[in-house]
A and B are shown apart, each in its own frame.
Chain A
Amino acid sequence: MIVFDKVWFSYGINHVLKDISFTVSENERVAILGESGEGKTTILKLILGLIRPDAGKIIIDGEDITNKTEDELREVRMKFSIVFQEGALFDSLNVKENVAFCLREYSKLSEDEIDHKVRELLRIVGVEHAIELMPDELSGGMHRRVAIARSLAACEPKMFLYDEATTGLDPVNADIICKLILDLSKNGRGLILVTHKIFDAVKIAERFMFLKDGIILFDGDKEELVHSTVSEIQIYLNEVSLSCKANKSGG
């Protein structure tokens, strides 16, 4: 379970998060929505302990991680699997080496076993054919899928964290990624999806948070989201209804 208790965070003089409090249980599918620069990615980084809050507490599975050292945080991070914006693949390694990175680092598997596991993970995400390619030879969609495969190789995560997993992708590839994200969460593992694409968020999540000016403007389920009177959310919902209309008229 993730608990944010009155968390403040700022980059210099820019207060990104102001007194944020929320709780996410480990089997929930949560989407954090908001415009660019509203602190959505910052929340993911705080959960992983990559940055420290200015004030407040972050509690993961009952443990306050706010003041943990880098070594202590390693154990906490193993509970999560994150896919960063645009994949964050190691650009000097090919797809196989990227996915095998953690296996080589931590497991005692032989090279044959690593090869087998890498192929298996790439098959799950549907990019087995790209095993020898370098990251700069991959399309945006393939990039994200390889990043998902790599995050799966890292550990047996309790929760998945996705940072703008579908941003910059065409609708077909975005849909593939959404389905993949849902498939991976089928066995009850929760996720936090950070996005500004509400159309993709409603496909995946069951709970929605909306960040604006450093505070959570809205926190509720799909039903509450649809009937929300918050003007910013209405703008986002209009995008969804326009997309739906376009889909219907397109047959």
Chain B
Amino acid sequence: MKIKELISELQDFYLLSARGLLGAVKKPFYLKDMIEQMDYAGAGSFVIIFLVSIFTGMALSLQLSAELSSLGLKMYTGKVVGISIIREIGPVTAALVYAGRVGSGIASELGSMILGHQIDSLRVFGVDPMKKLVTPRILSSIIMLPALTIIGDVVSLCGGYYIAVFVSHQSGTFYWSSIRDVLTFENVFAGSVKPFIFGYLIACISCYMGLSTKGGSKGLRKSTTRAVVVSIVMIIVSDFILTRILLYVLGFSV
């Protein structure tokens, strides 16, 4: 019975993910809803992404400076910070913050709409909830998470610069030239593909959890928690898989 339920849930999730994305190419288009979602997801997340990124960059730079100093390789701080942030830490950190803030918001909003019969109202009025609610959230996440990741990367690198120059007493010019060196197509591509996938996953998982809410306020709590937890796990898992694929595709040897 449990396996049957799990398969049925997975099927519903895949259908939602596919239909949500297909809604982008089929009329009617809810542009106003999408812009509203982009504002909530993007502009609303800017401050938290900024704060998390700057401290992540500073902590990373601090750790690496300390470790590399003991090996006499302090000048490589910029290079290692750059690669770590652009390829791995930047996209993952932004996605985790996004899942916590936006994913939970999507799940709780859709969940309360389910409980308040608002989704039923939409269906009665002939409006497809998938197009009206899911598609704008998926598209806004696919657009805004990469944008937030780029901002987060830049802020993290600045945080790393502050530590490298003012705490570890390294050359600022050398730090930035190391960063410039690692801004190769392979590194930038590897870092910029991930946020699109993460954004799509977070939006689909959160919409699915929200729309499958049942059981009153307790059920809403459960679906919101599940949305965040499943999103976080899926970000980490898919990050590993994507890293493996990207390293292979881009010709890196492991």
Contacts and interface: CB of A to CB of B under 8 A. Distances in A.
B126 A45 contact: no
A84 B123 CA distance: 12
A101 B127 CA distance: 10
B126 A74 contact: yes
Contacts of B216: none
B125 A101 contact: yes
A70 B127 CA distance: 10
A102 B125 CA distance: 7
B125 A84 contact: no
A48 B124 contact: yes
Nearest to A81: B124
B120 A90 contact: no
Q: Which of B118, B120, B124 has the most CB of A within 10 A?
A: B124
Contacts of A106: 126
A44 to B, nearest CB: 10
A154 B117 contact: no
> Could you say which interface size class chain A belongs to?
20 to 34
Nearest to A135: B116
A91 interface: yes
Contacts of B126: 74, 77-78, 105-106
Contacts of A48: 120, 123-124
A88 B128 contact: no
A134 to B, nearest CB: 14
Contacts of A74: 126
Contact of A84 (B112, B117, B127, B128): B117
Contacts of A101: 125
Contacts of B112: 91
Interface residues of B, number: 12
B121 interface: yes
A86 B116 contact: yes
Contacts of A80: 124
A77 B127 contact: no
Contacts of A133: none
Interface string B104-143: 0000000010001110110111111000000000000000
B124 A82 contact: yes
Contact of B118 (A70, A78, A82, A88): A88
A77 B125 CA distance: 7
Considering residues A50, A88, A89, A105, which has the most beta carbons from chain B within 10 angstroms of its beta carbon?
A88
A25 interface: no
Interface in A3-36: none
Given A86-B116, A88-B116, A91-B116, A77 B121 contact: no
A98 to B, nearest CB: 9
A89 B116 CA distance: 8
A205 B116 CA distance: 26
A91 B118 contact: yes
A85 interface: yes
Given A86-B116, A88-B116, A91-B116, A105 B125 contact: yes
Interface string B68-91: 000000000000000000000000
Contacts of A90: 118, 121
Contacts of A78: 126
A93 B21 CA distance: 26
Nearest to A85: B117
Nearest to B214: A11
Given A86-B116, A88-B117, A88-B118, A77 B128 contact: no
Contacts of B116: 86, 88, 91
A111 to B, nearest CB: 14
Interface string A159-197: 000000000000000000000000000000000000000
Nearest to B122: A90
30 contacts: A45-B120, A48-B120, A48-B123, A48-B124, A50-B123, A70-B123, A70-B128, A77-B123, A77-B124, A77-B125, A78-B126, A80-B124, A82-B124, A84-B117, A84-B120, A84-B121, A85-B117, A86-B116, A86-B117, A88-B116, A88-B117, A88-B118, A90-B118, A90-B121, A101-B125, A102-B125, A105-B125, A105-B127, A106-B126, A154-B125
Given A74-B126, A154-B125, 7 more contacts: A77-B126, A88-B117, A88-B120, A88-B121, A101-B125, A105-B125, A106-B126
Interface of B: 112, 116-118, 120-121, 123-128
